[in-house]
Structure 1
């Protein structure tokens, strides 16, 4: 099998801009809408949005590699570094502190040059004990070597492994990374979204570290996106969008890196689709936040019991499965059927709930909203 870096024209990537232009325009439009939406919100809502987005980015980037971080530790580390007051602070461990440092350095300090020394610092922060999560000793804060054999991406049981990719030899890494960093820091007429996608694939193809390449790759892509946004606060999580499409993520990368052709149009299309998902998710979240805020303001004078408040919040969060019936109400609130019926009747009288179209034994209820809770469309 041949690999992309073995092309005689490596790394002169190509793409068909006419295939990408509509996707780029759509993402740019949504990015503009998102910035406008956030600017119309209060300070605390903007702060909460940034904290939630960064927490998602850190947790999901590690989850892509099979590492499960404590979300509360991640949130606490981010809040402390950003000067945000939160309830329920939890002391983070060294591994969490390391990936949080990388994420913030890549985005907040996105205008600073990306250098080999900076990447070495990121790698050392990612593995503070000098070992990965499986206890394997690593060459930390330096490019990998080939003392244990070529860097291979494999799957399958022992003795039945399938090799998906072989990275460039270690003795090429200084030259490979010099070319990459020169391009990444250079000024050229290239759309920032295309640059972020290209940087992501290029760094993955080089695979310069013994471990942690995926997480550092996504930090680099976030850095390129932050530069394109003018250093704006992170309002969407690309890693969360990738994590939801984890299988197709690896398939999209392998389809490009496992051959010598340098046309990366299909990869950039995949990247832009997931970026669109990420931006769309935040837009819908903010829309729902506004709906929720408006709802509670409109019903601030309503006398609601704890059961009613619990169910209404579930409906407003948009995570209620199926239709709301009196039976579901009773189960959710651990109440009797008669109590559930009285709770619902009270909300109907207050114009907080309304009956759905079906009647009789199939009677269901929904929030009386002018603008319903929505979910962003996604590419899978």
Structure 2
């Protein structure tokens, strides 16, 4: 009797209930369309910043799912360099970070290129540049050999009775299984692109063709499938971030599908719901990006700001803590109180700052955008 789907006679003839998927698929696609439309309206700089945020999360979270902690500053710096954002901050160089960044960016930027065994091997080599996973030497940039036994996904390895969640096909089957998978992936399919991405993720994980790193590569393949559907090299949301926030549900859905009967409706339902959550999370975390982008776009054609004003306005658009005072302005810009007050009064005149109630020694200002024009101009 078959325990796993790859042991069934009809493998890999996946099937699903299209009726059960209709509503969540429509919701996911609706969210996708609204979000991507919104992103088109915020300008090049805004899209770049949103992309930096999303890719940084993707690299960090796809590793966190596997229990590996990467330095967010290193991730952001690596991606910023590759996107050509020179002022995004410099973090320490980390070889592990660089490898995961290469994979995530390749899946997004080179979405038109076919998925081949050599491309997967390149991703695998980027994940394990030393040839080791932890303290264990592994086969890098080639299909696994199972020289240490069957490929199993196991938990509680230090307990008397380890739990085997899944066992992959024997290594001898991997070349043929991967040839079939790659032929399917590189051939246009008459199914919705989001379902194709979810199916590709499950199919690759089920084959488990590498010694290690299968989950991260499977998520990259799903991202590649989504990028192909969107026909864009930019990614503004993180599927890995949404998966990491429901990691237990992710593994439970995968295990249930791999122990099922090739009806993968429940897995696809989970994948679509996860996708919708990724879009929702991106909407929440990129609100400040939208606000900043719209603000600077609205300034086109208006009198330019001074360098000091641009510096403080950037901070105000980034959830500046507390109210703004002349003293804070002078401290941020390294200028005199008189210069700070002149800068502030100019922004009050433009309606971007509003004086709060208080005596002359305690005068503070609140940033307002869209701007309002108060009837008075503060003088202290």
Same fold at TM > 0.5: yes
Instruction: Say if 1:12 and 1:262, in contact at 8 Å, map to a contact too.
Output: yes
> Secondary structure at 2:166's aligned position in 1?
strand
**How is 1:367-378 mapped onto 2 (pairs within 5 angstroms)?**
none
Distance in 1 of aligned mates of 2:214 and 2:86: 32
Task: Name the residue aligned to 2:65.
Answer: 64
- Answer yes or no: is the 8 Å Cα contact 1:58–1:100 preserved in 2: yes
Residue 208 (structure 1) aligns with: 209
Q: In structure 2, what is the equivalent of residue 147 of structure 1? A: 147
Question: Aligned with 2:132: secondary structure?
Answer: coil
Structure 1 residue 79: deviation in Å? 1.3
Contact persistence 2:107–2:224 (CA under 8 A) = yes
Give me the TM-score of the superposition, normalised by structure 2. 0.78
Tell me what 2:270 maps to: 270
1:358-373 equivalences in 2 (<5 Å): none
Task: Name the structure 1 match of 2:348.
Answer: none
Q: Which moved more, 1:79-88 or 1:32-41?
A: 79-88
Residue in 2 that maps onto 1:255: 256
User: How far did residue 232 of structure 1 move?
Assistant: 4.2
Question: Is 2:46 the partner of 1:53?
Answer: no
Aligned residue runs from structure 1 range 26-175, under 5 A: 26-132=27-133, 134-156=134-156, 157-175=158-176
Instruction: State the alpha-carbon separation in 2 of the partners of residues 90 and 19 from structure 1.
Output: 46
Question: 2:127, 2:213 within 8 Å by CA — same for their partners in 1?
Answer: yes
Asked whether the 8 Å contact 2:45–2:293 carries over to 1, the reply is no
CA deviation map 1:79-131 (0-9, x unaligned)? 11221222431242221111111111111111111111111111011100000
Secondary structure of residue in 2 paired with 1:14: coil
Q: Distance in 1 between matches of 2:79 and 2:144?
A: 30
102-111 vs 192-201, greater mean Cα deviation: 102-111
Based on CA coordinates, which of the two structures has the bigger radius of gyration?
A: 2
How many residues align structurally? 328
Deviation at 1:293, TM superposition (A): 7.2
Give 1:378's aligned residue: none
Change over 3 Å in CA distance of 1:125–1:294 after alignment to 2: closer
Give the deviation of 1:235 after TM superposition: 1.1
Tell me how far apart the structure 2 counterparts of residues 116 and 292 of structure 1 sit (CA, whole Å).
Answer: 42
Whole-Å Cα distance in 2 between the matches of residues 204 and 120 of structure 1? 15
The 1:232/1:27 distance shift into structure 2, 3 A limit, reads farther
The RMSD of aligned alpha carbons is: 3.3
1:130-171 per-position Cα deviation (integer Å, ceiling 9, x unaligned): 001x22101001111121010011111332201111100000
Does 2:11 align with 1:10?
Answer: yes
For the residue of structure 2 that corresponds to 1:164, the secondary structure is: strand
Partners of 2:318 and 2:203 lie apart in 1 by: 44
Query: Which residue number in structure 2 is paired with residue 363 of structure 1?
Result: none
Structure 1 residue 76, shift from structure 2 partner: 1.2
3-state DSSP class of the match of 1:153?
strand
1:285 aligns with 2:288: no
Structure 2 portions without partners, runs of 5+: 300-304, 306-313, 323-354, 372-380
Residues 170, 85 of structure 1: alpha-carbon distance in 2 compared, 3 angstrom cutoff: same
CA distance in 2, matches of 1:289, 1:188: 36
Partners of 2:182 and 2:204 in 1: how far apart? 10
**Corresponding position: 1:191 with 2:192:** yes
Measured in 2, the distance between the counterparts of 1:198 and 1:128 equals 29
- Whether the 8 Å contact between 2:74 and 2:91 is mirrored in structure 1 is yes
Structure 1 CA distance, aligned partners of 2:358 and 2:258?
61
Contact 1:352 1:368 in 2 (8 A): no
SS at match of 1:235: coil
Find the aligned partners of 2:116 and 2:254 in 1 and give their Cα distance: 24
1:319-334 to structure 2, matched below 5 A, reads none
* Per-residue deviation, 1:4: 1.0
Residue 86 to residue 177, structure 1, CA distance change in 2 (3 Å)? same
How far is 1:345 from its partner?
Answer: 5.5
Output one character per residue of 1:171-210: Cα deviation in whole Å (capped at 9) or x when no partner. Answer: 0001100010000001121111000000000001010011
CA–CA separation in structure 2 for the residues paired with 1:179 and 1:293? 45
The structural deviation recorded for 1:291 is 4.9
Q: Give secondary structure in 2 for the equivalent of 1:22.
A: helix
Most deviating of 83-92 and 263-272 = 83-92
